[in-house]
Amino acid sequence: MASLLLKNGRVVTADSDSVCDVLVEGETIVAIGRNLPVQADQTIDATGKIIVPGGIDPHVHLDMPFMGTFSSDTHETGTRAALHGGTTTVIDFVLQKQGHSLREALTEWQGRATGTAVGDYSFHMAVTDFNPGTKEEIQDMIAEGITSFKTFMAYKGALMIDDAQMVGLMQEVKKHGGLVTAHATNGDMIDTLIAQHRAAGKLTPLYHYLSQPEVTEAEASGRFADIANYTGVNAYIVHLTCEGALNQVRRATERNQRVFVETCIQYLVLDASLYEDEVNGAKVVMSPPLREKKDQATLWAGINQGLVQVVGTDHCPFMWEQKMMGKDDFSKIPNGHPAIEHRMELLFSEGVATGKISLQKYVEVTSTNAAKIFGMFPRKGTISIGADADLVLIDPAKKHTISAATHHMNVDYSAYEGWELTGKIDTVILRGQVAVQGGETKVGRGYGQFIKRGKTAF
């Protein structure tokens, strides 16, 4: 078995921080300590570098059929880009087609990801049609390691389920020990506002934002938490953006309910003023939309308060030509923005380097908490003996600039074009293999494995 020794790095986990060596044999970490008296087949000098667990992005949409097109990163290009940004595992969404089975959808997604992914991946199952047939399939999915079930409270006619289906799904998932997640926005209200804006000839990207005011998210977040509380299921809100929605979660904690919360990097660092650009606003048309500065402050505080456990991306890239499907009507712009490659570096630069969050909080929200919530801990999400050797070396002071000309995502623009960041991903190791070094990919198509997940252990 090949061995790899990382010498003298600052090894940071959610509960430890010390300068030491990490020894890997095959795919696994076998020893951690100061000046380990060993020789290895390959040694990397990590002096001056921070070593964190491989990033886990639990919210990505690869090669996904959506709004009349497909997201532009495949499982190959998306997971490769993720590796370049220090994310070694992603959880992608399988979408049930309404009127069809969960199994059919899973088979379709496996067909796209198996043998093509470069980094490790798992799946959430998005239940878009909960009925007696779907109900029977829940436990089969859990047995296959797909333990989280996504619901959409918006996108009526395509993905949205109603409250009757929500309660039924939650009861069934609770019975088998899984987790229910939600895109928590009020779909009916949003559709009404979209229709009103279109009827009034208000068609620019700004009206995408104005069709999804904070109340649409706060209302649905509260409703989701309430139904989850009634059913007793483990609940998780994806891509939470705003103060009103987080206050609903805060309210739930007052009755001793725990609702897990994910925000995404863009909601921490970008704001709604970008929608005023009638052309480039399309680049940040996503749902929910970007919010105000006060919401960014709420989210940063929520991370430090432990109310927000995860920072993902909701990576859902579209080429500019695809975005231009909506050049005359905001409601036809495919929703989503590319970030899979930049989450770890943006959060390091804007969060750790500025002092908003600690390095240990950084590790929690970029890997450890997701591993625990989604049933991959301690195989993933930490640096400990017996864990997968998924390790990221960060050069903490190195400056670099984001550009579509140099990123690895299959998309021809960047929402962060020209941003200068502090702290650069230097080397990425996935299951014991150097996957990225010196800006080069060292593992190929098909190296990524499907990660079978267990139950929430948080």
* Min CB(315)–ligand URP separation in Å: 9
Which part of the chain contacts Zn ion (CB under 5 A), choosing from 68-76, 255-263, 306-314, 429-437? 306-314
The pattern of x and - marking residues 65 through 104 that bind Zn ion according to CB under 5 A reads -----------------------------------x---x
Q: Does residue 284 interact with ligand URP by CB under 6 A?
A: no
Residue 401: phi, psi to the nearest 5?
Answer: -125, 135
SS3 content of the chain, % helix, strand, coil (to 5): 35, 25, 40
In the β-sheet with 120-126, what is the strand arrangement from edge to edge?
A: 55-60, 87-95, 120-126, 148-152, 179-183, 234-237, 259-264, 310-312
Minimum CB–partner distance for residue 312 and Zn ion (Å): 9
Q: Tell me the residue type at 187.
A: G
Residue 287 binds ligand URP, judged by CB under 6 A: yes
Contacts of 153 (CB under 8 A, 6+ apart): 160, 161, 166, 182, 183, 184, 185, 186, 187, 220, 223, 224
In this structure, are residues 92 and 113 in contact, taking their beta carbons and an 8 Å threshold? yes
Least distance to ligand URP, CB of residue 276, Å: 19
61 binds ligand URP (CB under 6 A): yes
Give the one entry of Zn ion, ligand URP, none that residue 140 binds, where binding means its C-beta sits below a cut-off of 5 to 8 angstroms depending on kind: none
**Is 217 among the residues that bind Zn ion (CB under 5 A)?**
no
Smallest gap, in angstroms, from Cβ of residue 315 to Zn ion? 8
When asked if residue 316 is in the footprint of ligand URP (CB under 6 A), the reply is: yes
372 lies in the site for ligand URP, by CB under 6 A? no
Residue 100 interacts with which of ligand URP, Zn ion, none, CB < 5 to 8 Å by class: Zn ion
Closest to Zn ion by CB, 45 or 104: 104
Q: How far is the CB of 91 from ligand URP (least distance, A)?
A: 12
Contact status, residue 299 vs residue 308, Cβ threshold 8 Å = yes
Q: Is the peptide bond before 288 cis (omega within 30 degrees of 0)?
A: yes
Shortest distance (Å) from residue 77 CB to Zn ion: 18
Please state the closest distance from residue 44 (CB atom) to Zn ion, in A. 35
Per-residue b/e over 234-264, b at no fewer than 16 CB within 10 Å? bbbbbbbbbbbbbbbbeebeeeeebbbbbbb
Beta carbon of residue 316, minimum distance to ligand URP (angstroms, whole number): 4
Give the tokens for residue 359: 């390095």
Which phi and psi (to 5°) does residue 416 adopt?
-120, 25
Contact mark string toward Zn ion, 104..123, x via CB under 5 A: x-------------------
Helix or strand (DSSP H, E) at 28: strand 28-33
CA neighbor of 133 nearest in space, from 187, 178, 97, 182: 97
Instruction: Name which position in 73, 120, 262, 314 contacts Zn ion (CB under 5 A).
Output: 314
Comparing CB distances to ligand URP, the nearer of 288 and 432 is 288
One residue of 335, 349, 367, 369 binding ligand URP per CB under 6 A: 335
Structure-block tokens of residue 241: 């953006």
- Of the candidates 112, 183, 291, 431, which one interacts with ligand URP according to CB under 6 A? 183
Closest approach, Cβ 314 to ligand URP, in A, equals 5
CA distance 206 to 289: 10
Contact (CB, 8 A) for 372 and 34 = no
Q: Which of 336, 351, 432, 448 binds ligand URP (CB under 6 A)?
A: 336
Tell me: does residue 343 bind Zn ion (CB under 5 A): no
Can residue 187 be called a binding residue for ligand URP (CB under 6 A)? no
Helices (H), 9-117: 75-84, 102-113
Question: Around Cβ 216, how many Cβ atoms within 10 Å?
Answer: 26
**Least spacing, CB of residue 22 vs Zn ion, in Å:** 33
How many residues make contact with ligand URP (CB under 6 A)? 8
Residue 180 to residue 456: CA distance in whole angstroms: 11
Find which of Zn ion, ligand URP, none residue 336 binds, CB within 5 to 8 Å per kind.
Answer: ligand URP
User: Across the strands, what pairs with 52?
Assistant: 392
- Which residues contact ligand URP by CB under 6 A? 61, 183, 286-287, 314, 316, 335-336
- Which residues contact Zn ion by CB under 5 A? 100, 104, 183, 314
